[in-house]
Amino acid sequence: MKPINVGLIGIGTVGGGTWTVLKRNADEIARRAGRPIVITAVADKNLELARQITKGAARVTDDAFSLVNDPEIDIIVELIGGYGVAREVVMQAIANGKHVVTANKALLAVHGSEIFSAAQERGVMVAFEAAVAGGIPVIKALREGLSANRIEWAAGIINGTTNFILSEMRDKGLSFDDVLKEAQRLGYAEADPTFDIEGVDAAHKATLIASIAFGIPVQFDKAYIEGITRLEASDIKYAEQLGYRIKLLGITKRREKGIELRVHPTLIPAKRLLANVEGAMNAVVVKGDAVGTTLYYGKGAGAEPTASAVIADIVDVTRLANADAAHRVPHLAFQPDAMSNLPILPMSEIETGYYLRLRVEDKPGVLADVTRILADQGISIDAMLQREPEEGEGETDIIILTHVCQESCADAAIARIEGLSAQKGKVKRIRLEELQ
C-alpha cells in the first residue's frame, strides 16, 4: 500500500526522537497503521543537525512552509513550539487540507478554539497526545477510554521540572533556589525556567485536560496559575509532619455552577499514589462516575517518551485519514455542536482545604484570636501544629489545616489574621486536596 508521507517541522529533542523511533520500529508501526509511514521531508533552522540525523533519508530544508505547501505530504508534524511561526504553520497546513500532529501545548491552550474550528471546517485532524504529559496516553484515555463516564475531576503532576525540584527540596531539605540551580545543571530546567516554575506550562496542559474532560472551549486565559517560587523548605517539612506532601498540581473539577481550572502548589495526603510520584515523572488522576478513580503515570518529557505519543498520533491519523470526518473522534471528545457553556469559576468560588502558616508572637490569647476569626468565616480546623520556640525566641510558627471551605471565606479570614498585632508578616497559604 502507498506510504503516508510525513513532513517533520523541528528536529530538536522531540523531533529527533520521533525520527529515531519511527525508523527503528518502522515495520511494527506499519503493521499497526495498515500502511508504511515515512518522513519524507524535514524542516529545521539548524540544517547541519537535520542532515546529521536524517543521513540523506529525507529532504532537508530551513523553510517550514515548503513542507506545508508540498502536495505530496499528507501529515504535518509541528514540533517547533511557541505561538508565532507554529500557529502560522498549523493554520496553513489545515487550509491546505493536511492533517496536523503537534506537541505544542502552549499553542493549543491559547489558540486551540481557532485551530480546532478551522480543522473541523476543512475536514482534517489535529492530534495532540504529546502536548500533555509526554508519553502518557492521558488524552486518548479521556477522549476515548473514559467516554462512558461523566468526569468529576482530574488532577495531575504535569510538569517534571517542578516535581523534581519539590522532590529534592523534601528529600534534602534544600532551598528552592539551590535545587533550581541543580535542576538546571542536570538539564531538568531550562536556562529560563519561568514557564515551568511559575506554573504556566502546567496550566497549558490543565486547560486542555479540562476541555476534553468536560466538553468546554479551550480557555487558558481563565485558568488560575500559581508557581512554586515562594515555597519554603519549612512548609515542606511541616506538611510532612502532618502527613502530607506538596506537589504542583493542575486541577480541574466539575461543579454545579461551572468548572474549576487551577494550577498551584497543593498538599496531598502522603498515602495517595499521586503524592509518591517523585523526580521528573508525571502522573494524572481522573475520577469518573462509572469507573471511579484511574491513574496514568510515566515519563512526561524526553525525546523518546514524547516521540512515542507523537507517533501514536501519526498512526491514528493514518488509520482514519480517509474516514468520513463526521465519524472521527472529535478533537475535544465532544461533538463540536454539543460543547458546554459552563463557565470557568473565579478563584473566589473554588472550594478546597487550606494549610495556613502563621508567624506570631509567643504569648497567651493569640491562638484563641485566630480560631475565633476562622469560626466567624465558617471555617473549621482539621489539624494544628505549633512549633516550640527556641529559648529566648519571642515568635513561633502555628500551622493550621482547615476543612474544605470557599476561597472567599479563606481570603477574608487571612486578611483579618494579618491585621492582628501578634501576627508577623503575611500568612502562608497553600491549598489542600484529599483527592478521594
**pLDDT tops 70 at residue 392:** no
Q: Is 424 a catalytic residue?
A: no
Does domain 351-432 sit in CATH 3.30.70.260? yes
pLDDT of residue 389: 76
Which string of b and e fits 33-52 if b means at least 16 CB within 10 Å? beebbbbbbbbbeeeebbee
Which string of b and e fits 205-218 if b means at least 16 CB within 10 Å? bbbbbbbbbbbbbb
Q: How confident is the model at residue 327 (pLDDT cuts 50, 70, 90)?
A: confident
pLDDT of residue 55: 96
Digit-coded pLDDT (tens) for 119-140: 999 999 999 999 999 999 999 9
How confident is the prediction for the chain on average, in pLDDT?
95
| Structural domain boundaries in the chain | 4-135+303-338, 138-299, 351-432
Average pLDDT of the segment spanning 367-386: 96
Its pTM stands at 0.95
Q: Catalytic: which of 105, 205, 247, 253? A: 205
Digit-coded pLDDT (tens) for 277-289: 999 999 999 999 9
Q: What are phi and psi of 96, to 5 degrees?
A: -85, 5
**pLDDT tops 70 at residue 54:** yes
Task: Read off the C-alpha cell for 301.
Answer: 518529557
The Cα–Cα gap between 150 and 307 comes to: 30
Specify the higher pLDDT residue, 433 or 321. Answer: 433
pLDDT of residue 399: 97
Question: For residue 82, how many other CB atoms are within 10 A of its CB?
Answer: 10
CB 196 within 8 A of CB 316: no
CB 435 within 8 A of CB 155: yes
Please tell me the class of the 4-135+303-338 domain.
Answer: alpha beta
Digit-coded pLDDT (tens) for 212-239: 999 999 999 999 999 999 999 999 999 9
Q: What are phi and psi of 299, to 5 degrees?
A: -80, 125
**pLDDT tops 70 at residue 159:** yes
User: Pairing between strand 395-402 and 351-361?
Assistant: antiparallel
Average pLDDT of the segment spanning 309-327: 89
Average pLDDT of the segment spanning 192-198: 95
Q: Hey, which CATH number is domain 138-299, 3.90.70.10, 3.30.360.10, 2.60.40.1480, 1.10.260.40?
A: 3.30.360.10
Q: How confident is the model at residue 65 (pLDDT cuts 50, 70, 90)?
A: very high
Digit-coded pLDDT (tens) for 13-23: 999 999 999 99
